[in-house]
Amino acid sequence: MGSNIMKNLKFIIIGALIAAAIQTGLLVKIIYDRGQQLANGTEVHLQTGMVDPRDLFRGHYVRLNLSIGRILKKDVKIVGDLKRREAVYVSLKKGAEEFWVPVVIYSELPEASDNPVLKGKLTYIRNSKDPEKTTYQISFPFDRFFAPKKRAKELEKIRNDRKLGIIVALNKKGEGLIKGISVDGKSIYNEPIY
């Protein structure tokens, strides 16, 4: 009877060690993939306005109001059948200033694109009597930037009289990570890779 308990205990310990190794491996992969995207992803600069709310559980953050979050139909080409609450892919090109602007909205990830593509979710289509004034509202997975209280307050002061932007690193699937924050085209904060 004692040997059965020892056998069971041995299997439990081995199982726990295997589970811990798998979980550790998954965490390492997530951190590594994020670091690789920040280091090697295609960089685009997006114009944003910011608001400084506070979350009781996560602290201070800056809400990002991306200029590419609302796109007029007249400013872009539409490829595919766009549907609310579904993924869309926004092709970007460098604009007249330092910020990138949308040129095409795809309903599916394009196989080949001359420009970087950012994945978002079509949240609303505001139709107009004039079809060219139809507006597409798109949300992106990085609508908040968490910062220490002091940094969040600094950003709030800066945003009132300068051009704020975020630097985003894109991968081939159109997934973006915030790499940094820029003011008047100059990087003022870079996200640590690891």
Q: What is the arithmetic mean of pLDDT over 24-34? A: 95
Q: What is the pLDDT of residue 194?
A: 72
pLDDT, average across residues 187-194: 80
- pLDDT band at residue 160 using 50, 70 and 90 as cut-offs: low
Q: What percent of the chain has pLDDT over 90?
A: 56
Q: Residue 109: which of 73, 67, 70, 79 has the closest Cα?
A: 79
Q: What residues contact residue 138 under an 8 Å CB cut-off, 6+ apart?
A: 68, 69, 70, 71, 88, 90, 105, 120, 121, 122, 123
Find, among 111, 117, 56, 66, the residue nearest to 87 by Cα.
Answer: 117
Burial class (CB in 10 A: 0-12, 13-18, 19+), 122: buried
Residues 83, 20: Cα–Cα separation, whole Å: 42
Q: Which two tokens stand for residue 60?
A: 């201070």
Average pLDDT over residues 14-41: 96
Distance in angstroms (rounded) separating the CA atoms of residues 104 and 109? 11
Two structure tokens written together for 188: 């003022």
Angle at CA of residue 176, ends 106 and 156, nearest 5°: 115
Tokens of 51: 């608001």
Which phi and psi (to 5°) does residue 186 adopt? Answer: -110, 130
**For 95-135, what is each residue's pLDDT tens digit?**
988 899 999 999 999 998 889 999 999 999 998 888 888 99
Whether this prediction's pTM lies above 0.75 is answered by yes
